[in-house]
Structure 1
Amino acid sequence: MNDSSWGAPAGTGRGGPDQGPAPAGPAYDRHQAAQTRPMPIVPDVPAGGFQDGHGRGAAHPSGPLFRDETPHEHPQEPMPSPTPPPPPGPSAPRQKKSAGRDLGAAIGVGVGLGAVIIASLFIWKPAFVGVIAVAVVVGLWELTSRLQERKGIKAPLVPLAVGGAAMVVAGYVRGPEGAWVAMALTALAVLVWRMTEPPEGYLKDVTAGVFAAFYVPFLATFVALLLTADDGPQRVLTFLLLTVVSDTGAYAVGWRFGKHKLAPRISPGKTREGLVGAVTFAMAAGALCMEFMIDEGVWWQGLILGFAVAASATLGDLGESMIKRDLGIKDMGTLLPGHGGIMDRLDSLLPTAPVVWLLLALFVGTA
């Protein structure tokens, strides 16, 4: 603010006109700025002045406001009216529910895997056994890698991979007895292999190794056992269809109608409505599969089979969700776009395989 704001005549110094001209230069300008503060100009008041609300005369400027004056005290500047609230009703388009994954990639990967499974299943049975063994090895690699990354647990992968593949082949060639023997030998190999490293953490490493051997290859061996029957390809296809239909029914119904959480502390995305959808879809598919695909099968057996598959698939999914929550991860891997890792697809298949094998053995036998 220049000197005219104080009302001083032009060309006067700091002390008035009798002090001579003010010195010029940057030093004086800085000193003058330090000694100066803004002062509003008070215009002349008309005769009689303004009248305040109590009848007293009050001078009120028509120019700039006083320092202690707020905008709403000025008679010529009324307070702006508040913005009216929006009218009732939706003011913005309702947000659509998100499917939570890339459906295009998920469908493409699912179709590709399905083609490989169907081709190997009905062209040459041993080829499908090889598909199971490859899935087991990759699943073990994902599981042991996540255990080491997140928990520092070093479950030995080499004996697990070799023993897991051998377990699947032994189950297909020698039946349940061969699978049990291979499981025992794999556990023993894990114990011995881990002895080549320092003893610190030995117990947790071998415990995780034996758990991995049971969880992935041993449960997968029951798929190979299904294949050994005369109508083995149809049994395996029934097992796969019912599991996929159960997962699809849970996903579709839960996404559209799900409101009540099934297990919020384990898997917040699963709902009771989704479970009802899984059971309904799986029972309907089970009745059709038992009636038209399984030799000597009856539709009511398919209802029981479908209900059991929906229950075991849901429990398997929750079980791996517990593992992933403990590890602090969302997916076991990234190998399958739209799905995660191999283990993220095997989670509901692994515990369902022995259930389907047992019920089909009870209903129509193992031959």
Structure 2
Amino acid sequence: MSTPSTPAPPPPEKKRAGRDLRAAIGVGVGLGALVGASLFIWPPVFVGVIAVAVVVGLWELTSRLEERKGIKAPLVPLAVGGAAMVVAGYVRGPEGAWVAMALTALAVLVWRMTEPPEGYLKDVTAGVFAAFYVPFLATFVALMLTADDGPERVLTFLLLTVVSDTGAYAVGWRFGKHKLAPRISPGKTREGLLGAIAFAMAAGVLCMTFLIDGGTWWQGVLLGLAVAASATLGDLGESMIKRDLGIKDMGTLLPGHGGIMDRLDSLLPTAPVVWLLLVIFVGSV
């Protein structure tokens, strides 16, 4: 009597990226072309690109806050003040950015007074947070642009952040087993963080050696390490916001990516870090 054969175990499922990679790559290439053209052909146009991204990001953030939490952060003063903040940083430097930030916060407080007092505190608190989180942090990109090698500094900032994100994704997708912060972002792993650090440090060495005047390789190592840390924290920070709001993406404007804020999450907190380290390493002009 023959023994019944044991059925073969099903093949292990392959890991999936979770997004439309073709659309994501196409949008990424398009955004890269737009940024590169505006950055090196006439830098003031790039300041306009930053301002537009800030306004769209503020619209996404305030819309989600109202939809999910009933918080009505006033968009008009935030959008006008946010765009002005970026321009002020480019034209007048850090002092201009701080003054524009203060005036934007004041405008949020006054604008909200035109509506009933119920919810005033939470609305203006969210408004001031949005002003700091999106346009004020983005202003540091405009500040980088004011240096003599401004386009190269901005390109270094963008390359290191993108390379850090790519390293985290590639290594985490292939080798990730140990969760980094499972309650905040289940997809992130410690292995992915190590990949982000390694990729960003390598890119930092190349950028500081070949793009930044007066830069050295060891500065690139430190810059890459700092970028990997700030980009990861920025990503986790927005993941925390989205978990609190109960959403996956901030918007649907960019196919394969989500919204503008879903692309700015690691860029925004990294901008002041890169600006400051470049000022320390090679000066502000």
TM-score (norm 2): 0.98
The counterpart of 1:310, out of the listed 228, 245, 248, is 228
In structure 1, the residue matched to 2:178 is 260
The answer on 1:272 being equivalent to 2:190 is yes
In structure 1, the residue matched to 2:23 is 105
**C-alpha separation in 1, matches of 2:6 and 2:13:** 19
Instruction: Please report how far the alpha carbon of residue 86 of structure 1 lies from its aligned counterpart in structure 2 after TM superposition.
Output: 1.7
Kindly provide the amino acid, as one letter, of the partner of residue 84 in structure 1.
Answer: P
In structure 2, the residue matched to 1:138 is 56
In structure 2, the residue matched to 1:84 is 4
In structure 1, the residue matched to 2:246 is 328
In structure 2, the residue matched to 1:171 is 89
Instruction: Please report how far the alpha carbon of residue 94 of structure 1 lies from its aligned counterpart in structure 2 after TM superposition.
Output: 2.4
**C-alpha separation in 1, matches of 2:163 and 2:55:** 26
**C-alpha separation in 2, matches of 1:342 and 1:99:** 20
The answer on 1:239 being equivalent to 2:157 is yes
Kindly provide the amino acid, as one letter, of the partner of residue 92 in structure 2.
Answer: R
The answer on 1:118 being equivalent to 2:36 is yes
Query: Secondary structure of 1:269's partner?
Result: strand
The answer on 1:230 being equivalent to 2:148 is yes
Gaps of 5+ in 2: none
> Which range is displaced more, 95-104 or 210-219?
95-104
Gaps of 5+ in 1: 1-80
Between 1 and 2, higher relative CO (CA 8 Å, sep ≥ 6) is seen in 2
Alignment of 1:33-72 (within 5 A): none
Query: Secondary structure of 1:195's partner?
Result: helix
The answer on 1:338 being equivalent to 2:279 is no
In structure 2, the residue matched to 1:217 is 135
Query: Secondary structure of 2:114's partner?
Result: coil
The answer on 1:292 being equivalent to 2:182 is no
> Which range is displaced more, 98-107 or 347-356?
98-107
**C-alpha separation in 2, matches of 1:143 and 1:299:** 38
**C-alpha separation in 2, matches of 1:183 and 1:92:** 58
**C-alpha separation in 2, matches of 1:365 and 1:118:** 24
**C-alpha separation in 2, matches of 1:329 and 1:125:** 35
Kindly provide the amino acid, as one letter, of the partner of residue 310 in structure 1.
Answer: A
Q: Once the two structures are superposed, what CA deviation does each residue of 1:315-350 show, in whole Å capped at 9, x if it has no partner?
A: 000000000000000000000000000000000000
Pairwise CA RMSD of aligned residues? 1.3
Q: Once the two structures are superposed, what CA deviation does each residue of 1:23-47 show, in whole Å capped at 9, x if it has no partner?
A: xxxxxxxxxxxxxxxxxxxxxxxxx
| Aligned residues with identical type, % of pairs | 88
**C-alpha separation in 1, matches of 2:135 and 2:73:** 15
Instruction: Please report how far the alpha carbon of residue 95 of structure 1 lies from its aligned counterpart in structure 2 after TM superposition.
Output: 1.3
4+ aligned runs moved over 6 Å, structure 1: none
**C-alpha separation in 2, matches of 1:104 and 1:310:** 25
**Could you say which structure has the larger radius of gyration?**
1
Kindly provide the amino acid, as one letter, of the partner of residue 287 in structure 1.
Answer: V
**Paired residue total:** 285
**C-alpha separation in 1, matches of 2:232 and 2:135:** 20
**C-alpha separation in 2, matches of 1:362 and 1:93:** 53
In structure 1, the residue matched to 2:101 is 183
